[in-house]
Amino acid sequence: MMNEKVHELLNQQINKEFYSAYLYLQFSNYFKAKSLDGFANWYMIQAQEERDHALLFYQYLQNNNMPVTLGAIEEPIQEFESNMAVLEAGLNHEIYVTSLINDIYAAAYEVKDFRTMQFLDWFVKEQGEEETNANDLISKMELFGSDPKSLYMLNQELGTRVYTAPSLVL
Ligand code: MG
């Protein structure tokens, strides 16, 4: 039987990941409205990945015969001061998600729930990549974002990102 706290945190994470998807969909929406379709594409794929993460937590609980409770998804931020503010909100959000994954890991570790720890290993690695990606995007924007021609090329580059299903299969 899964520990109550671990169960609660895993269940909450479904909601947090769907919120992440919703937040990135909002980012995509923001850039689409600015005709920066490459940025919009990049965040649309990010949203799809977050939806996948939510479903992995959902599937993991179901595979372990644990009940799933789905709650309301919070409204994402609507207004941004600048393009850079969106990217920074993305990085801050990923740092927050890393802390959530770490909290679940710590709870699982405390009760020697090795199965959950193994499940979470993929997410620990994934969060490292998410933070790196968000940081890289900010660096590129700092370098190229203020010049329209360079921004155009960065937008083109981000437009080439394609969706791939998560490497973790449950
Ligand atoms: Mg995620």
In which residue are the tokens 């909290």 written? 103
Residue 150 Cα to ligand 1 midpoint, Å, equals 30
Residue 92 Cα to ligand 1 midpoint, Å, equals 13
Helices (H), strands (E): how many in the chain? 5, 0
Phi first, then psi, for residue 100 (nearest 5°) are -70, -45
The reported pLDDT for the residue numbered 123 is: 98
What is the C-alpha separation between 170 and 53, in angstroms, rounded?
A: 11
What is the C-alpha separation between 50 and 56, in angstroms, rounded?
A: 10
Residue 49 Cα to ligand 1 midpoint, Å, equals 7
pLDDT digits (tens, 9 = 90+) for 112-161: 999 999 999 999 999 999 999 999 999 999 999 999 999 999 999 999 99
What is the C-alpha separation between 124 and 119, in angstroms, rounded?
A: 10
Residue 65 Cα to ligand 1 midpoint, Å, equals 23
Q: What angle do CA 8, 12, 17 make, to 5 degrees?
A: 150
Overall size of the chain counted in residues = 170
pLDDT digits (tens, 9 = 90+) for 52-107: 999 999 999 999 999 999 999 999 998 999 999 999 999 999 999 999 999 999 99
What is the C-alpha separation between 124 and 130, in angstroms, rounded?
A: 10
Residue 56 Cα to ligand 1 midpoint, Å, equals 10
